[in-house]
Structure 1
Amino acid sequence: MNAARQRERELDTVELQALAWVRHMAAGAMTPADGAALRHWCQADPAHRAAFVLARQRWQQLGEAARLAAARNPASLHLAKPARAPDWRRRALLGGAMSLGAAAATAAVIHPPLGLWPSVGEMRADYRTATGERRLLALADDVTVEMNTRTSIAVRTEAGRVQGIDLIAGEAAVDTIDAPRAFAVVAGAGRASALSARFEVKCTAAGVRVTCIDGTVQVAHTAGTVTLAGRQQLSYDQDTLGPLVRLDAIPPSGWRDGYLRFADTPLREVVDEINRYRPGRVVLLNQRIAERHVTGRFQIHSLDKAIVQIQRSLGLEARTLPGGIVLLG
């Protein structure tokens, strides 16, 4: 029988629930509480997580089809019809219509605005810390992993043994001193592995940073392989490896001591770091102030005070909005 003529199957209960979540996110109606509920739903059952990922993929495919149609015929901006999605009831998926506005809203499913709920990538995490939370894990023999705020990791296993982790987002400190086998942290386009070392890996939208505190760490990247000794740091993105930097030349990481330290750091980077630890969001209103520099040490549990200090020292105006949002300009 021609597959195009086969009767489309009905969605089961879990698929309908996943679809409802995706449509809710794409509509821009999510709140932090909704994000927590979605994360709980995905973690409750592997079938829930799989259904959510599939629903998101289907929505993304339909959004791309709509964009392609509009590119070929701009006049169809409000008339474009979505491509057929195999094994999904089109009417159920679209809720009656699929516009380019909904296609653009697909980005909210993949990259949540203001970080108010976890991204699709974070949904596959085995462990995740909330804003301001830290967590210490003993994942393998003589290996501990400390997760910093807003960190998501997936555990890598082989033949029943933990081989390492995928650092999906955030920051993790790894202690492999006297470990019987190498432990690896995969982040972005690179892989940091060590047999006996203490090191940290930080993964953000800007790229990945690996810091070796003690021992040696090997970083394998599509652009090459580099070995870090104690008190050395290396950064990379999807395409390039940065140079080795001595820790003597940069402020040491202080998050495990409860502090954020900055030395002549652009305000945009300071704000990005504060936003990782503080509920809500600090927003810079123009690029000019984003390039101004900040030096200081701020307590993580008192970041509202830090924002006031930065505002006054740089002579900025601040406006506070509900939900912990602060506008600096």
Structure 2
Amino acid sequence: MNPPLRQPRGLSRVERQALQWVRRIAAGRMTHGDGEALRQWCQDDPAHAAAFAAARRQWGELADAGKVVLARNPMAARPEARPGPVHWQRRAFLGGAACVAAAATAALIHPPLGLWPSARELRADYRTEPGEQRHLALGQDVSVELNTRTSIAVSQRGRVPGIDLIAGETAIDMADARQPFAVVAGAGRAVGARARFQVRHTANQVCVTCVQGLVQVAHPSGSVTLTARQQVVYDDRALARVVSLDAANMPGWREGYLRFADTPLGDVVEEINRYRGGKLVLMAKSLAARPVTGRFQIRALDKAIAQIQQSFGLQARHLPGGVVLLS
């Protein structure tokens, strides 16, 4: 197999810059500031985004190598065992498989921009890919449905069975179960009793929605009990107040729809990105706060993008790697 990310002769300046970004990612030297700089670089010019998308495709070999390392050495995923910076040399690109795998492992622990699953997600018991949904039976009376980009680990704390929601969104149906079922996400824990409920864990925030029955949500800052069509949000610091939802505002992904009610366009774009490969980029930042109300079919997101484009008078440019620029 040819070594990954080998730099051929004759690369353009932009292609060399894209490779430099990928090398920096692979070496595990990306900071939050670097991530923002990379995001801005991709947005500055469509050619930048296309070049980076092409470099990302080559990253697959590095990611595969990282998975092998994690499988053979689970301790590599622990933050205190994180490898130090790797100084890339020609020898490393021409066959240093160990260096490639180590660098891939480092970047898998804290992937910048969410471009690939983290090490913790890769070690989950169950995980879904972009656009995939999956149904699981955990026990005789408990069913769990995983939405797109969702990772869970099966767990049991004391006598209460449950799951750890590492990332993504899940729906729990245990209306006929004889014992409680718990979902741990972020800083909190939701425990259902003969209930149907959903938990969403994205962007350092957790949202718990009760569909039927009772759900107790415990957080270091307090606890609440949800009844049907009630919802609560929390982060690492605080638990928000409980809100009541009407039928139109209940999560619709299980029925195959994304529902938005006066949702900022920037948030709509981010939600669409969870369901598709590549990246939808809103170049017209002045429109990010404009409200969007509507219902889009998950299996027809290209139509949703076209509707957004038409509604806001945007131009869409399709680039390699599933990158779509709206400007």
Name the SS for the 1:140 alignment partner.
Answer: coil
Change (3 A) 1:299 1:47: closer
The Cα of 1:116 is off from its aligned counterpart by 3.1
In the TM superposition, what is the alpha-carbon distance from 1:257 to its structure 2 partner? 1.0
Distance 1:295 1:239 in 2: 30
- Gaps (5+ residues) in structure 2? 1-22, 29-54, 88-96
Paired position in structure 2 for 1:19? none
1:268 is matched with 266
Deviation of the 1:110 alpha carbon: 3.5
Quote the Cα distance in structure 2 between the aligned partners of 1:271 and 1:153.
Answer: 25
Which residue in 2 is equivalent to 1:173?
A: 171
Following the alignment from structure 1 to structure 2, what is the Cα–Cα distance between the partners of residues 303 and 39? 32
* Other-structure match for 2:240: 242
Q: Which residue of 1 is the match for residue 326 of structure 2?
A: 328
- Name the residue aligned to 1:156: 155
- The CA distance in 2 between the partners of 1:293 and 1:126, in whole Å, is 38
Q: For residues 203-245 of structure 1, what are the alpha-carbon distances to aligned partners after superposition, in whole Å with 9 as ceiling and x for unaligned?
A: 0014110000000100000110010011101111110111111
Alignment partners' CA distance in 2, 1:111 and 1:229: 37
CA distance 1:193–1:242, shift in 2 (3 Å): same
1:37 aligns to 2:64 (yes or no): yes
- Whether 1:50 aligns to 2:74 is yes
Letter in 2 for 1:145: V
Equivalence map 1:54-203=2 (5 Å) = 54=78, 57-59=80-82, 62=84, 108-157=107-156, 163-203=161-201
| Matches of 1:114 and 1:35, distance apart in 2 | 17
For structure 1, which segment, 150-159 or 316-325, has the greater mean C-alpha deviation from structure 2 after superposition? Answer: 150-159
How far apart, CA to CA, are the structure 1 residues paired with 2:155 and 2:277? 30
Q: 1:249 to 1:146 in 2, by over 3 A?
A: closer
CA contact (8 A) 2:82 2:106 kept: no
Query: Against the structure 1 CA distance between its residues 189 and 203, is the aligned structure 2 distance closer, same or farther, given a 3 Å change threshold?
Result: same
Identity of aligned residues (%): 58
State the Cα deviation string for residues 93-127 of structure 1 (Å, max 9, x = none). Answer: 989xxxxxx9xx99844443453321122122100
What SS class does the counterpart of residue 286 from structure 2 fall into?
helix
Cα separation, partners in 2 of 1:217 and 1:49, compared to 1, 3 Å? farther
Compute the TM-score of the two structures, normalised by the length of structure 2. Answer: 0.72
Q: CA separation in 1, counterparts of 2:294 and 2:62? A: 33
Alignment CA distance shift 1:263-1:131 (3 Å): same
Q: Is the 8 A contact 2:199 2:208 kept in 1?
A: yes
Structure 1 pair 137–184 and aligned structure 2 pair: CA distance change class (3 A)? same
What does the per-residue CA deviation read over 1:9-28, in whole Å, with 9 as the maximum and x for residues that have no partner?
xxxxxxxxxxxxxx895248
Q: How does 1:9-28 map to 2 (within 5 A)?
A: 26-27=26-27
Larger radius of gyration: 1
Alignment of 1:228-239 (within 5 A): 228-239=226-237
SS at match of 2:117: coil
8 Å contact 2:273–2:280 — kept in the other structure?
A: yes
Q: Which moved more, 1:225-234 or 1:114-123?
A: 114-123
Query: Structure 1 CA distance, aligned partners of 2:305 and 2:254?
Result: 21
Cα distance in structure 2, aligned partners of 1:224 and 1:41: 41
Structure 1's unaligned 5+ residue stretches are 1-22, 67-77, 79-91, 96-101
1:118/1:291 CA distance change after superposition, 3 Å: same
Task: Label 1:40 to 1:112 Cα distance change in 2 as closer, same or farther (>3 A).
Answer: closer
Report what 1:298 is aligned to: 296
Give the AA of the match of 2:114.
G
Letter in 2 for 1:133: E
Bigger drift between 284-293 and 274-283 goes to 284-293
How far residue 327 of structure 1 moved from its aligned partner, in angstroms, is 1.5
Q: Do the aligned partners of 1:151 and 1:171 also contact (CA within 8 Å) in 2? A: yes
The CA distance in 2 between the partners of 1:328 and 1:57, in whole Å, is 41
Give the aligned length: 269
Q: Which amino acid aligns with 1:171?
A: E
Q: Secondary structure at the match of 2:249?
A: coil
* Cα distance change of structure 1 residues 291 and 158 upon mapping to structure 2, 3 Å threshold: closer
What is the deviation of 1:30? 5.2
Shift of 1:47: 4.7
Secondary structure of the equivalent of 1:125? Answer: coil
- The amino acid of 1:232's aligned partner reads Q
Question: Which of these residues, 285, 308, 311, is aligned with residue 309 of structure 2?
Answer: 311
